Structure 1
Amino acid sequence: MTDEPSLLDGGTDLSPESRQDLMRVLGWMAREGLALGDLRAAAPVGGGTQNVMIRFTSDDRSYVMRRGPRHLRETTNAALTREIEILEALARTEVPHPHLVASCTDVSILGDSVFYLMEPIEGVNAFIEISDLHRDDPVVRRQIGFELVEALVSLGEVDPEAVGLGHLGRPDGFLERQVDQWLREVDRYESVEGYVRDIPDLEEVASWLRAHQPLTNEPGLMHGDFHLGNVMIAPDGPGIAAIVDWEMCTVGDPLLDLGWLLATWQQPDGTDLSGSKLAAAGELATTDELIEHYARLSTRDLTNLDWYRVLACFKLGILLEGTYARSLDGRAPRALGDWMHARTVRLFHQAIQLIHRAVRPAPSPSAAGELS
């Protein structure tokens, strides 16, 4: 192995902080006995995550290192440690996921963050890029939506106990806890200097969720943040190469994952929450078609799906608002914070539309006859 300066040859696209991280990771790999040779390439990996990822090649093997964001949240290291455990368990399932190579929960190595190494995923993040095939073939673009649903169904069918994840969450009372838990999160944002709560219809949505909560639900393994930006698509087709970013995975209610996908998917009026490259290409499967596909493949009861869709808008909107709050005191870029707040507003608008649709009275028989 060459001396340390040469280890970073090829890493010129990295920030100084990432170069330092990579140096420390390489030293850790050497001490752990992982095969290590000269570094041949190193570059940052982008995507829908705020975590830091670096792809590098050493001794003819490629790796991706994943660590927390530069401004760690209090929960970051616990979440990454949880993600490591989940990836180890998913290796015993058919769910598409990143393949874990090694992990380190000793924060002294990087000085702040837990990290792990995984195999690179041969896929594209359609949030920020699409392949020529995806761009040129509308049939493939439509199929991507159905493939996402199929991946969700396969995840929801995993037996958490069988793969060693039965302890991961508290399924009893999962739905009951959601509203109050996320309202407390908004209360915490108000401790940030300069933050003023400005989430339209927050209380109306919270009240509706409390009043219409399903009486029963079927617990299962859920991703917790399932949207296009957290999925890698095969560049040569519509298949799912891997679901990524498992930090929010828990044993809860998998129908919330479906609601999350629908909340972030291109809407019937053509609007797209994320502004993804895939949606910009157009001609995607509609939200109704995704629901129909899920219903064909899953035995889960979709009677209360609109409730899960509203909860997804509520929870995701508050989650994104956290980035806006952190941006006010410099813990996140201000432009990113403003972008996130705008998405929070749009999510709550979507929630109100769903609520109004859910409470709209059905036409009387006579009125229906007049309209026919």
Structure 2
Amino acid sequence: MVDVTELVDTDALASWLRTQGMDGEITEVTPLAGGTQNVVVRVVVDGRRLVLRRPPAHPRPNSDRTIAREITVLGALAGSDVPHPELVAGCTDTGVLGVVFYLMTDVDGLNPGEAVSPEQEASEQLRHGGALDMARAAARLGRLDPHAIGLGELQRPGSFLERQVPQWTKHLASYDEVPDYESGTLPDVDLVADWLEQHRPPDAAPGVVHGDLHLNNVMLHRTEPRVAAVIDWEMCTVGDPLLDLGWLMVTWPEEPIGMSAGPALSALGGLPTRAELVAAYADAGGRDTSRIDWYTALAGFKMGIVLEGTQARAAAGKAPAEMGRKLHEAAVGLLGLSGRIARGEWSIS
């Protein structure tokens, strides 16, 4: 395991912070839980608790680009009604820490994948309400005009939905080039790909898509039934915001399981059902949810392929073997759930 202090040169960081008008002493650098794809650490600067986010010890080819995207997105969300960490400073100069990185506020909340507060543990209503607010947060995000807030550059030409299956099928095939990676172990890939293409909805007006919205990527308020912040914006794009709701569906800790997120919270029970989440999303002004099964199948297809990338990296010795195995199992579950939708064996409605 890499020592986090080797990934954050505090002298270089302090020098850069001075150029940003933050002339303070760094008194703490502490790794935070989560961050399987990137490094997340708490740094205390002149007594102020901040969070630094940077690529992993073995950066992927697009690592700096995705962190730079997060800097852009968090800056654009400032002043919106979407709960998010406040961007403090972003650095795209790789001469400082060797990679792109940024600092954000340390949100006063708990990640339900890691911990719950005493109040959440004692109150089913608090757990239910806080989890339900994720759907409302997704609806608020989807209502933003990406061009009005400066995110128009994230929109690629052409149809967002039309390019999904070809893009992710090609991405999965690229893993075959990794030495020692065993391909062909994900279920129902061809079945789901064909079904998605045959049942694709028409394109809707573009909106902001978080791209990885699930219980492990939020901070819930400790004592109030609401989301304190949506985190991990590295997959944010401009496209069809209903994909975020599909992402919630396929990762929700309710049978049938695709990938079960938020284990610390879900272990206590009392969470809303998928149907309740869909209703809350609609009630909060979200988009038409009549095709939510399709978006759920797409979410499982895409997320499964993304997670399988860690298995490929592990095969190449660039990620821990245990993490690769764990995420491969999650990918199998995700493709399996998408396969059930494609075969007509399960529906949210």
TM range (shorter): over 0.9
Q: Are the equivalent residues in 2 in contact too, given 1:47–1:125 (CA < 8 A)?
A: no
- Pick from 2, 23, 31 the counterpart of residue 35 of structure 1: 23
Distance 1:302 1:260 in 2: 13
Deviations 1:38-83 (A, max 9, x none): x333311222543112212232222221111111001110111111
1:176 aligns with 162
CA distance in 1, matches of 2:346, 2:129: 32
Question: Contact 2:84–2:229 (CA<8 Å) still a contact in 1?
Answer: yes
| Equivalenced residues, count | 345
Alignment partner of 1:116 is 2:71 = no
Q: Deviation at 1:299?
A: 5.1
CA separation in 2, counterparts of 1:238 and 1:359? Answer: 30
Q: Give the superposed CA RMSD.
A: 2.0
SS at 2:343 equivalent: helix
Confirm or deny: 8 A CA contact 1:171 1:252 kept in the other structure. Answer: no
Q: Is the 8 A contact 1:263 1:312 kept in 2?
A: yes
Judge conservation of contact 2:257–2:333 (CA < 8 Å) in 1: no
Establish whether residue 289 from structure 1 lines up as the match of residue 276 from structure 2.
Answer: yes
- C-alpha distance in structure 1 between counterparts of 2:132 and 2:20, whole Å: 42
CA contact (8 A) 1:218 1:300 kept: no
Using the alignment, how far apart are the partners of 2:181 and 2:28 within structure 1? Answer: 42
Identity, in percent, stands at: 42
Distance 1:191 1:28 in 2: 39
The two structures have a TM-score, normalised by structure 2, of 0.93
Asked whether 1:310 is paired with 2:297, we answer yes
Q: Unpaired runs of 5+ in structure 1?
A: 1-12, 361-372
Whole-angstrom CA distance in 2 between matches of 1:171 and 1:317: 25
The structure 2 residue matched to 1:129, chosen from 96, 102, 115, is 115
Q: TM-score, normalised by structure 1?
A: 0.88
1:261 paired to 2:248: yes
Deviation at 1:86, TM superposition (A): 0.9
Deviation sequence 1:152-186 (CA, Å, 0-9, x none):
01100111111111221226410000000001111
Deviation at 1:267, TM superposition (A): 2.0
- Decide which of 184, 197, 215 is 2:202's aligned counterpart: 215
1:53 to 29, 35, 40: 40
Output one character per residue of 1:63-114: Cα deviation in whole Å (capped at 9) or x when no partner.
2211111110011101111111111110031111111111110111112x10
Letter in 1 for 2:204: N
Pairwise CA distance, 1:274: 3.4
Q: Give the Cα separation in 1 of the matches to 2:281 and 2:245.
A: 8
Q: Name the residue aligned to 1:22.
A: 10
Larger Rg: 1
Q: Which aligned runs of 4 or more in structure 1 are off by greater than 4 angstroms?
A: 269-272
Partners of 1:346 and 1:47 lie apart in 2 by 20
SS in 2 for 1:96: coil
Structure 1 partner of 2:137: 151
| CA–CA distance in structure 1, aligned partners of residues 97 and 334 of structure 2 | 36
